[in-house]
Amino acid sequence: MKKLITEEDIATLVSVTDPQYAPDGRRAAYVRTTVNHKRDSYSSAIMIYDTESGISNPWTFGDNRNTSPRWSPDGRRLAFVSDRENGVPQLYIIDAAGGEAKQAADIPWGVSDPIWAPDGRSVLVSVSLTSAERADEKEKKKHDEYEPVDIQSLTYKRDGKGLLNGSWAQLVLIHLETGEIQQLTDHEADHYDAAFSPDGRQLAFTANLCELGDAGKPSDVYLMNLADGSLKQITPHRGSFGSCVFSPDGSYIAMLGHENEFRNATLEKAWLYDVKTERLSCLTDMLDVHLSDALIADSIIGGVTPRPVWTNDGQGFYVLGSEQGSTGIYYISIDGLVYPIRLEEEYVNGFAFHPDQKSCIAVIAKPAQPSELYSISLEDGEEKQLTSDNDRFIEERIISVPEKLQYETKDGLTVNGWFLKPAVFEEDQTYPLILYIHGGPHMMYGHTYFHEFQVLAAQGYAVVYVNPRGSHGYGQDFVNRVRGDYGGGDYCDVMQAVDEAVQAYPFIDSGRLGVTGGSYGGFMTNWIVGQTDRFKAAVTQRSISNWFSFHGVSDIGFFFTDWQLGHDLFEEADKLWDRSPVKYASRVSTPLLILHGERDDRCPIEQAEQLFTALKKLNKTTSFIRFPKATHELSRSGHPEQRMKRIRYICSWFDDYL
């Protein structure tokens, strides 16, 4: 007999990510992540799929995180990152013929994002360093927790990392034969998305090297001459560019980015830089698709969005795109021809092409199936499932399959979403409905397995979740429509979702409605309960309650508030206050549970504290749960036990009031 899904099943799910074909196409590496019960954390293993036998075998073992598998150019070695020694991520190399993995270097600050040099003799990694530190130092000085922190930049903290203490991501080359560590960059800026030219003479990377150097300023692509370290800026210093990759013959650089026309609501586009003529051109001006992964899911740990992948003939490349609640693979020619080669009702989280480019492997999650590795033929689109890590989970549990929901708004927009019936459904019964609102706001719900929704369905709730204006996946105009109108048209969109669900499904008890959401969805939850008493219970998560203070306490608040609300802090403070949910605390009659992580630097916990204090002073029904050490990513990649407890709190609150 099949079982109902529970919050504890987080520990049963397997996350498959980051596929990488070997140069000969006979093997593929990927990462398999599971919950580590002993550590209340995650363990990741490097898995190798053999294309002839169809069998996957682990190449790493133990309770640690082993990630970022990258084949050497000749396919004889595999580089990866592991925290097996003292919990510090280091670069390891393993021989493809067998044997133990060897640590390539000892860099006390840890490394990430390995990239092989074309000659296979060195590997580039990213290392976070302050201006006083060098990657080749033998020992990391112990940090004095009582030492005052001197802050000069607006970018002084980051969610998931806390205080940066003046550290920046630098590019470091590890020479494998000698063990020499060569630091290539030392600007006070993060350097990322590096790529070697095919001849190994140049390095492209992205950085924000403008004088003020703060987030929200332009991010440009630079070319470094590795012989003398000289730099050349190749993007126009008025937008955000990255994910660059050289064409096979080095004639072009493909990259993704935009010119900030709609601030952080601007769609990612594909660009081409001609190395010889030094001309940069946009290839997808006419394509109304966001060329990045905007889909929200809670069952994929450590997903890696692939960069553009060039065709062997250098006449085009493949990228990931988000459209209509799906992510798919798009082909873009150097002449600007664009079309999807794979766009189904599914979540493609990563892909890698076979060397002959007649097929690819992809990590795919589907509405009723967590992530697995698939092979996809480019000739006929036929797919073959290669792994079965979550098959037993699916076979043993009742999974509610989402039904599509679509409606027209009063101002002529089309809103898309999904409806989830209770897992055990009886025709003659009525059921409570929960409206779930996503974060971002420039993200999207879509055609993927969402564990938390399944838990709610298993508890007897129907769930409606939609992509209101501001969501990605429906074009530039749609994603931009929330800017300057928080709590306006978007509020109408999500409230209409409830109306549509109640009308379409007669078994919904309109007297038992709940609402919840996180981040922007938390803001919307706070806003909703201050505007209407329609909901009988609400749960707000990692939310925003006061735009005035958010501007100064969030790691992105100083530009995000300007870009999204459109009101100047100093000249239009009253307008920021008008859009702040805490202003309307006296109107709240809905019992409100407040969930927040104590180390959330994106939406700091003071936002929750303000709201809780206001509601308590007004004798409103509320409760406040704090999660120690939890960041903004609690619901997606936080400590497993905290993730489980969080879902229990949500279910219990709705059980009590619905």
Radius of gyration for the alpha carbons in the chain, expressed in angstroms and rounded? 25
519 is catalytic: yes
- How many angstroms separate the Cα of 421 from the Cα of each of 92, 326, 454? 47, 21, 9
41 is catalytic: no
CA distance 278 to 427: 66
Instruction: Find out whether 32 and 51 touch, Cβ atoms under 8 Å.
Output: no
Torsion-angle region of residue 106: left (phi > 0), alpha (psi -120 to 50) or beta?
Answer: beta
Q: HEC string of 501-538?
A: HHHHCCCEEEEEEEEEEECHHHHHHHHHHHHCCCCCEE
CA distance 190 to 445: 30
Q: Which of 632, 635, 637, 639 is catalytic?
A: 632
Instruction: Find out whether 212 and 199 touch, Cβ atoms under 8 Å.
Output: no
CA distance 431 to 486: 30
Classify each residue of 294-318 as buried b or exposed e, where b means 16 or more C-beta atoms within 10 Å of its C-beta. bbbbbbbbbbbebbbbbbeebebbb
CA distance 46 to 58: 6
Location of structure tokens 């082909």: 331
Q: State the DSSP code for 472.
A: S
- How many angstroms separate the Cα of 621 from the Cα of each of 83, 534, 613, 651? 45, 15, 12, 17
Instruction: Find out whether 437 and 525 touch, Cβ atoms under 8 Å.
Output: yes
The helix/strand/coil state of 319 is: strand
Q: Which of 519, 554, 635, 637 is catalytic?
A: 519
Strands 347-353 and 359-366: antiparallel
Q: State the DSSP code for 609.
A: H
Burial class (CB in 10 A: 0-12, 13-18, 19+), 527: buried
The residues carrying an active-site annotation are 519, 632
